[in-house]
Amino acid sequence: MAFGKKLIPRPDEELGARPVNRGVTERLVIAPDYEIKESDDAFGVEIFLPGVRRDDLNLSVEGRELVLTAARSWKKPDDWTPVWSETADLDYRLHLSLPEGLETEKVHAQLKDGVLRLTLPKAKQAQRRKIKIE
């Protein structure tokens, strides 16, 4: 089983980060970093989304595609004037092609401390099993 990665298609088909015109401000669109682990009965995916709140995160399974969109933004108090900033508001977008044999209706997701942890259970017939030799 293998996962495939592709960015959500953009009009200019450019890969990596790029500015997006959003009215007065520009935002970057990037694919987040992630790790995939496998056990006998499930895949585990950790997606790193620093600064993203639960309300700004959308996750869905569409056929055999896992689709993630998220936004990181900071709302400054009205009486503050920015002096320096090393982080920008940005959008995360990621498509992962899922392997066959997953129970997508049982996917579990948890966002904590900027890390989205997913558990993707394997169907019984896709699980590894030991064969007894007689």
pLDDT tens digit at each of 134 positions of the chain: 456 654 444 443 344 444 444 444 567 888 999 999 998 899 999 999 999 999 999 999 988 899 999 999 877 788 888 788 777 788 999 999 988 888 888 999 999 999 999 999 998 776 677 788 98
Residues shown for the chain: 134
How large is the C-alpha radius of gyration of the chain?
18
- Domain 4-9+28-76+89-126 -> CATH class: mainly beta
Q: How far apart are CA 27 and CA 111, in angstroms?
A: 23
> In Å, how far are 55, 74, 122, 125 from 38, measured between CA atoms?
28, 35, 10, 16
Q: How far apart are CA 119 and CA 52, in angstroms?
A: 19
Query: Are 47 and 58 contacting, i.e. CB atoms less than 8 angstroms apart?
Result: no
